[in-house]
Amino acid sequence: MKDVYITKIAKFLPNSPIDNDQMEAKLGVINGKASKARRIVLRNNQITTRYYAIDDEGNITHNNAQLTAEAINQLCSNGFSKDSIELLSCGTSSPDQILPSHAAMVHGFLKNGNLEINSPSGACCSGMNALKYCYMAIKAGQVENAVSTGSERTSSWMKSDVFENEVEHLKELEDQPILAFNKEFLRWMLSDGAGAFLLESKPNGEYPLKIEWMDGYSYAHELETCMYAGGDKLEDGNLKPWSEYPTNEWSKMSLFAMKQDVRLLGENILEKGVDSLKLAMQKHNITPDDIDYYLPHISSYYFKENLYEEIKRQGIEISWDKWFLNLDKVGNVGAASIYIMLEELTSSGKLKKGEKILLHVPESARFSYTYAYLTVC
């Protein structure tokens, strides 16, 4: 089995950063009224800027596949070209269409010759699953290099026109139509962008990162769906997919908007996250002393203190000086977040040879968690 190294990291964040006062103008006002939920959500998540693939006139500037291709193109320098890529693995929770796959569309924009592609589905963990596929392919000797990506283009899913038909329908039923909080919540959480890793079987580059191990854990056998799109959640907790609804109900119910069961999120995301963290650390026989940098993907700074307290409660306290976060500057970019976070850390000049980095990525869709443990070479 071969060793595997992340030898280059790139990111692409579209257009100029959007501050909190610009958000609603970019995404649009629902029912002609400024959102009350926006202030509550922003106060809790403490995100100050994020990025949208939307220009000043409200036009879409990039689709998801284009964002991803832009990040990959930035990997290609210093003797490595996109024509050299042997395997392309692309994760996202917001593909541009149901078919073809996201990786196929990215490959179409790259136009870099014949290669293997892989498109893991899911939410935030899809970017880590894309990474693991590349990791395993190189480790098994199938390829000498691979590119993995995480990306999101959720802004178009959050624009006001997605919800307009539902609001009009609600007006027929009640005097004060209010969009359900579980539908509006994510409008003020998510950001657009893409990140890319080049993986190789040799430690090329100035400070390559050796992937020591990767692990994933799912709690779908215990917990019902928490974040979803393309369906509606029934009273019994099951999802009814869009394909089982009449077409005239799709817009009335905003079936293709992303939604979050906030109650279920708060009750489970941290407890299961730390439970899985303990399992991964025990399996690979590491302790907090074996971690120099801890990169947890969190959707909101609301969870930061609570995550620390839960880690402490479960007996694996990781001190604050080891934490590295950039959520406030780039927003929650879903599957791309961990890529963008690691790119910022490696570009900071802080890393030293021999240091250990733990990546911790949760996915609230049905509570999955993925980990990677890296050594600075």
Query: CATH says 212-223+259-376 is which class?
Result: alpha beta
In the chain, what are the domain boundaries? Answer: 5-206, 212-223+259-376
pLDDT of residue 183: 74
Give me the pLDDT at residue 77, please.
Answer: 86
The pLDDT > 70 percentage for the chain reads 96
Q: Is the pTM of this model over 0.85?
A: yes
Alpha-carbon distances, residue 127 vs 103, 122, 133, 136 (angstroms): 12, 9, 10, 15
Residue 20: per-residue pLDDT? 95
Each of the 377 residues of the chain gets a pLDDT tens digit; together they read 999 999 999 999 999 999 999 999 999 988 788 888 888 899 999 999 999 999 999 899 999 999 999 999 999 988 899 999 999 999 999 999 999 999 999 999 999 999 999 999 999 999 999 999 999 999 999 999 999 999 999 999 888 887 777 666 655 555 554 556 777 788 899 999 999 999 999 999 888 999 999 999 999 999 999 999 999 999 999 999 999 999 999 988 989 989 999 899 999 999 999 999 999 999 999 999 999 999 999 999 989 999 999 999 999 999 999 999 999 999 999 999 999 999 999 999 999 999 999 999 999 999 999 999 999 99
Task: Check for a shared fold between 5-206 and 212-223+259-376.
Answer: yes
**What is the predicted pLDDT for the residue at 373?**
98
pLDDT at 32: 81
CATH of 5-206, one of 3.40.190.10, 3.40.47.10, 2.60.120.10, 3.30.70.60: 3.40.47.10
Say what the pLDDT of residue 240 is.
Answer: 97
